[in-house]
Chain A
Amino acid sequence: MTDPNLTQRGVPRPPPPSRWWRTRRRPGGKPPSQRSGARIPLALLLPAVVGIAFLVLPMVGLLIRAPWSELLLRLAEPEVGQALRLSLITATLATLVSMVFGIPIAWVLARSAVRGRSILRALVTVPLVLPPVVGGVALFLVLGRRGIVGAWLYDTFGFSLPFTTAAVVIAETFVAMPFLVISVEGALRAADARFEDAAATLGANGWSTFRRVTLPLVAPGIAAGAVLCWARALGEFGATITFAGNFPGTTQTMPLAVYLALQNDPEAAIVLSLVLLAVSLATLTLLRERWLTRS
């Protein structure tokens, strides 16, 4: 009677998503890559090792030069905690905003048949190419109190966005959202659209197909995109200092604090960088741990 592949409403169940983060911890049995015992070809191994060294060595440099005795003292400074908290809050908000708007953008790019999709895709990725400081000036021209939209906001409500915490979130979202869009679009393209077609054939409307079939299907892609987006937002400097300015407690995020410390106290800048690095690595590891252990 009941087809195990169909839900109660007759919508086909999506296949279990390819949980890339889980494959390494499959209970009983080694992950596929190790099971096959494939040796890494030298032609891949060499550039991989050089590449990893290139990515990691600058961080090693920071660790070597860090004044470790000062580290705890610096951490106790109220300004550092303030900047760190602001960074974490704004990066998280920017990621949420990016998901709310970015996932629909990715869907439109991957699934819809709107004309000029390739132009649309190019436009969405403009913030990736734009120097962030220019992005900040561009945000002024639209959302500043003399900007196209901002002037109306200012005249009507007396509300001005620049130099507020909201401006930090906007600047970070502007720079980081394309990373999420690209990841999610890639996941959507890789996902099997026939499940969605089947759901539609069986009477599910567009929204419920998206919610019950598409979203679970591309959840790993969304997670990866969100992580990338969050990391980019956390490190954002140029657009933020331009559009939001720099004021402790309101708009001074960690990257801004690092840059200003660099002006007259390079050691303090190294300590602040390490704090930011440690917190972001810890957060990402913790999140991954949660995904791993989720049943």
Chain B
Amino acid sequence: MSGALTVFAAASLTDVFSELGDAFMADISDVDVTFNFGPSSGLATQINQGAPADVFASANSSQMTVVTQAGSAEGEPTIFTENVLQIAVPAGNPAGITGLSDFANADLTLAICTPEVPCGAAAETVFAAAGITPSVDSLEEDVRAALTKVELGEVDAALVYVTDVIAAGDTVEGIDFPETEEAVNSYPIVALTAAPNPDTATAWVEFVLSDVGAAALEGAGFRTP
């Protein structure tokens, strides 16, 4: 195997896939892996417009469907990992947040993602499941913007992915809540029909699905499906 491998992957995979890419290149000589990280919706559009990609890893099934329905995928996508929401609070939890019900408290400063993006859609699902009408101060444009406001201590709590809480390090604490299981994001991966390098594409998918891949994903806070 040799040549260039181009992987299109959801932005939330940035850290863990970069790490796996290095390991892949160390394992298999003569392969040069490059990544295009971005919102899954944008990546799906680029692939269907003929972008020269070998592999697509999406943050949810709906954007993968966009690609498979256009006939751009080679075979069936495989779910390789899962991600769930967690309550993120500034270090020390100054407002004393205990669970999802605090999001109904109008006196607190709270943020969730806007419903247009996947983390906002997931937030709507968990609130519906918990029977809570949230009283938030901001509908953030993406999950990283919500996280930034927690890191700066400007909000008492925000709903973000559990992997974001881990990526934020010591400045942010995560609080689990049972309803999170109602909105599990599944990440599918697939080799693409137009792959310039089909063998290497398959090898990458297998590498992500291997024990090495699973361990790296688990280390970043993702769940094994």
Contacts and interface: CB of A to CB of B under 8 A. Distances in A.
A245 B152 contact: no
Nearest to A141: B152
Contacts of B116: 260-261, 263-264
Interface string A129-165: 0000000010011001110000000000000101100
B153 A242 contact: no
B137 interface: yes
B22 to A, nearest CB: 30
A242 B145 contact: yes
Contact of B154 (A140, A241, A261): A140
Contacts of A260: 114, 116, 141
Nearest to A264: B116
Interface in B1-59: 39, 41
A247 B139 contact: yes
B217 interface: no
Bin the interface of chain B by size: 10 to 19
A52 B152 CA distance: 43
A245 B137 contact: yes
A259 B141 contact: yes
Interface string A177-198: 0000000000000000000000
A273 B48 CA distance: 26
Contact of B111 (A137, A245, A256): A245
A246 interface: yes
A38 B105 CA distance: 70
Nearest to A246: B139
Contacts, number: 55
B25 to A, nearest CB: 33
A253 interface: no
A259 B145 CA distance: 14
Contacts of B114: 246, 260, 263
B140 A246 contact: yes
Contact of A146 (B136, B145, B152): B152
A274 to B, nearest CB: 20
A42 B152 CA distance: 55
Contacts of B41: 263-264
Nearest to B137: A163
Interface in B146-183: 148-149, 152-154
A251 interface: yes
A111 B131 CA distance: 63
Given A246-B140, A247-B137, A263-B117, A241 B145 contact: yes
Given A137-B148, A140-B154, 18 more contacts: A137-B152, A141-B152, A144-B154, A145-B153, A162-B154, A163-B109, A163-B137, A242-B148, A245-B137, A245-B138, A245-B140, A246-B140, A247-B138, A247-B139, A251-B138, A252-B139, A264-B41, A264-B116
13 contacts: A144-B152, A144-B153, A144-B154, A146-B154, A162-B109, A163-B138, A242-B148, A245-B149, A246-B114, A247-B138, A248-B139, A252-B139, A264-B116
User: 6 tightest A-B contacts by CB?
Assistant: A245-B138, A263-B116, A163-B137, A146-B153, A144-B154, A246-B139
